[in-house]
Chains A and B, each alone.
Chain A
Amino acid sequence: SQTIHQWPATLVQPVGSPLSLECTVEGTSNPNLYWYRQAAGRGLQLLFYSVGIGQISSEVPQNLSASRPQDRQFILSSKKLLLSDSGFYLCAWSYSTGRNTEAFFGQGTRLTVV
């Protein structure tokens, strides 16, 4: 069966510090991968998605970047965090075989920038 791991679960970082959130998927090959941010009352905002190694699409301009160094690894980064980067970050994956299936979500990371 497929599983998705996302860590850490919670993180408190000072303004101006770097960020690295990691997500890995097991049990499937060549998944589509996604990073979402969730802010209270705003639903889920798609930040980045990837259809393959090194292929990253950014949905919104921001202070964050994403990388996919391996087929089932997706990393969200920032060189200098802003207060506005606080939120709940969710990694997700979906099949890439042409079927329009649902996305499968990790447990999320609560990021607080202080």
Chain B
Amino acid sequence: DAGITQSPRHKVTETGTPVTLRCHQTENHRYMYWYRQDPGHGLRLIHYSYGVKDTDKGEVSDGYSVSRSKTEDFLLTLESATSSQTSVYFCAIRSGQPNEKLFFGSGTQLSVL
């Protein structure tokens, strides 16, 4: 899948615990994204990065933080997980213009009990 790996693939955690999801790419692409997918809402952008240490918020960023200390890794952290954050999380990468299409990872199924 275009050299993009998400880990873990599945995680079950308890409310109030911190959770970190990892996205790793081997394509050296500039842009990296975190989306969540929920029934009835499609994909919603959480955060994205346009370079090392350069990140910005998406439409559903509350309760999430991100970090990108290396080109290849983009971490999504739920500081204190809530049941509303139960979702499937997708990472995506993009090289930049003129190639504007996204390449997606396989997703992480997160359940917060």
A binds B: no
Residues on B lying within 8 angstroms of A by beta carbon are none
